[in-house]
Structure 1
C-alpha cells in the first residue's frame, strides 16, 4: 500500500500559498505558476510533478480549501433554531465569506474556458455536496442528485452575483440568495403536489417508478464531482 509523501504535501501547500499573491495580476496562469514555484523555492520540474496542470491544479486546490473551511465553520455554529432553507443560506454565506473576491473572479474566468469547464462544474457540484452532507442529508435515491443539482445552480448564480455586488456588507447578495432558495422551495412544493395528486401520479407512474430505482453513489461524499484529473494539489483547497 502506498502512502502520501508528507514532504510533497508540504510543497504543494507552499505552492498554493505562493501563487495567491500573483493571481490578482496574472490570473491562474503559467506565469503565476512559475512565479509561485520560484517564490516557494521549489524546482519547476518538481512543481510540475506536484501539479501536472500547473495553475489549474492550484485553482482546484484553492476551491477545495474553501469548501473545507466552510464545513469547519458550519460545524462550529448552532443552526438548530434556523429553518432548513436558512441553514442552506448560511452555508453559502460562510462559503463566500471565506473567499477572496479577486481570486474567485480569476477562477471563474479560468473555469469558463471550454477546456476547463467540466472541472469548474465538478467543483461547484462538490461545494453543493459538501453543504448537503454537512447539513446532515441522508438521501440515497434520486433526491441525492436533485438536491445537489439545484443547489449547484443556486450557488453558481449567487457567486456570479456576489462578484459584482457593491452593496454594504453584501446585503444585495444575501437578498439574491434568499430569492434563489425561494425559487427552489417553490419547485419542491410543486413536486409534492404532483406526488399527492392521484391523477398526476397515475399519469406519471412510469417516470415515478423509474426515478424510484435511482440510487446515490455507494460512497457519495467521496465520489461526488470527482474526476481522475481533479485531485487536489497536496490535499489543499480554498
Structure 2
C-alpha cells in the first residue's frame, strides 16, 4: 500500500567513493524507518572499511562481487530483519567498472513481495550499449519497445493461446523496437538521452490518472573509465555554497 509519495527522494548513489561504481534504485523507498538512501550510505561505509565483511579492495574487485555484496546487505541484513517486511517491488542496479576493466557492466537484484533471486547481469562488458529502466516503465516501454506492458494481456483477451504470447511479443518487437544508444555515443549525448527519457516518464505519469509516483528534480551522474563517478545534476536539501567542505552525500 502506498502511504505517501514525495518529490525529493535520493535514488542515485556513488556506492564507493573514488571508484567508478554507482547504484540506482526504484520501487520501495524505505525499509522500516530507514530510507534506501541511508541504507546505501551504510553499505558504502562497509565497502570502504578495511576488516569489514563487505570491504572491497580498490585494486582487485569485480562488479559482480559488488552487486552480490549489495544484495546480501539489503536483503539479508536489512530487509529480512524487519518485524514487518514491506510488500511490492524493489529494484537495485549496480553499474560501473571492475578493477582494471576497459568496459563497464550493470548488475541488478530485486525484492518482489519478500523474495529475492540472485543478482543478474543486465549489461556485460561485451553488450553494454543498451538502455535499462524500471519503476514506472510504461512510457519508455511504449517509446523504446513500441508497445504497452499490457500487450500480453491484450493478446490473451483477443483469444491468443498463452503459450504463443511470448513468441508473438518477440515478433512484434522486431518491427517496433527502436535503438537510441550505441557504444560510441559521446558522454554528453548519453546524458541528454537519460534526461529525455526521465523527463518523458515524469510528464507521462503526471498526466495519467492516479497518484503522481514520478516527479521532482532529476539526478544524473556518469561513470567513465578515467573520470570515475561524476555528478551532472543533483538536488541537495542544503546549499552546497554554504557547505564547501561537505563531500559525504549520495
Q: Which of the five TM-score ranges fits, normalised by the shorter chain?
A: under 0.3
Question: Which structure: greater strand fraction?
Answer: 2
Work out which of the two has the higher radius of gyration on C-alpha atoms and give 1 or 2. Answer: 1
TM-score, length-scaled by structure 2: 0.24
TM-score, length-scaled by structure 1: 0.25
Question: Which structure: greater helix fraction?
Answer: 1
